[in-house]
């Protein structure tokens, strides 16, 4: 794999090619969401005779678990959305397979393939679709639209997936998480009403 595109954008006006002003669009039940973004880096290469690409996002902070669960929960949408943008907007005429999408940890050793989202795999010389990616791709639009719908309705629940966040977060005395936890309320940000 070798870098081919750097800081390429989609859905933003006035950017020179290969950026595009076309956005990713998802529509569900009279709700339309348009996504724009700027992708740090796209690598391309050949695997088992097929052209493939990786999407990389430079990250200076701590690591993020990139699992089907975290993506479906709306916690790590950027890599799969950027992969879709490359497939459907930026390199749409190249017939490339999306290979991996993930973070490049600037101060902690770069790309971690084992933490990346895998979309296809090399199965003894054959390129095979990862079933998890097929399922994610089918539900990604639902996840995005439900999250944006909740934001448009002003739903900003107090919730943290880190059970011990109050032990190290400076906002623990003002964010009401202790009160919410004492009531044993639960929140599923992407759950539809
Ligand atoms: S203490 Fe409150 S503000 Fe800090 S991470 Fe936890 S929920 Fe978020």
**Per-residue model confidence as pLDDT tens digits over 51-74:** 999 999 999 877 777 888 888 888
**Residues contacting ligand 1 via CB (< 6 Å):** 160, 165-166, 169, 171-172, 175, 177
Please name which of 3, 13, 9 lies closest in space to residue 110, comparing C-alpha atoms.
3
Peptide bond into 28 cis (omega under 30): no
SS3 (DSSP) at 113: helix
The residue among 18 and 159 whose pLDDT is bigger is: 18
Q: Check whether 182 has a pLDDT greater than 80.
A: yes
Q: Locate the ligand 1 atom nearest the alpha carbon of residue 159 and give its number.
A: 7
| Centre of ligand 1 from the C-alpha of residue 49, in Å | 48
pLDDT at 189: 55
In ligand 1, the atom with minimum distance to the C-alpha of 165 is 6
Average pLDDT estimate for 74-90: 95
Mean pLDDT, the chain, rounded, equals: 90
Quick check: 129 pLDDT over 70? Answer: yes
Ligand 1 centre and the CA of 77: distance in Å? Answer: 21
Tell me the pLDDT band of 37, cut-offs 50, 70 and 90: very high
Instruction: Ligand 1, residue 176: give the atom nearest the CA.
Output: 2
Q: Distance from the CA of 151 to the center of ligand 1, in angstroms?
A: 19
Mutate which of 61, 75, 159, 160 to test ligand 1's pocket (most atoms within 8 Å of Cβ)?
A: 160
By mean pLDDT, which of 2-6, 34-38, 175-179 is the weakest?
175-179
102 burial via Cβ count (<10 Å: 0-12, 13-18, 19+): buried
- pTM of the predicted model as reported, rounded to 2 decimal places: 0.86
The tokens 């050793």 sit on which residue? 109
Q: Compute how many other C-beta atoms are within 10 angstroms of the C-beta atom of residue 116.
A: 19
CB atoms within 10 A of CB 154: 6
CA-170 nearest atom, ligand 1:
4
Closest CA to ligand 1's atom 1: 172
Report the number of secondary-structure helices (H) and strands (E) in the chain: 4, 10
Nearest CA residue ID for atom 5, ligand 1: 165
């Amino acid at each position: 794999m070798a870098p081919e595109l750097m800081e390429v954008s989609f859905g933003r006006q006035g950017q020179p090619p290969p950026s595009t002003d076309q956005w990713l669009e998802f529509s569900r039940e009279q709700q339309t969401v348009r996504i724009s973004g700027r992708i740090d880096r796209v690598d391309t290469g050949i695997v088992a005779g097929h052209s493939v690409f990786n999407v990389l996002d430079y990250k200076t902070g701590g690591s993020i678990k990139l699992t089907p669960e975290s993506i479906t929960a709306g916690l790590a949408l950027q890599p799969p959305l950027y992969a879709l943008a490359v497939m459907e907007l930026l390199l749409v005429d190249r017939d490339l397979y999306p290979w991996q999408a993930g973070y490049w940890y600037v101060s902690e050793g770069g790309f971690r393939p084992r933490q990346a989202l895998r979309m296809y795999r090399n199965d003894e010389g054959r390129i095979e679709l990862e079933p998890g990616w097929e399922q994610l791709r089918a539900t990604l639009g639902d996840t995005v639209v439900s999250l944006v719908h909740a934001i448009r309705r002003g739903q900003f629940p107090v919730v943290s997936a880190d059970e011990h966040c109050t032990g190290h977060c400076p906002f623990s005395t003002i964010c009401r998480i202790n009160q919410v936890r004492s009531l044993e309320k639960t929140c599923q940000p992407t759950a539809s009403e």
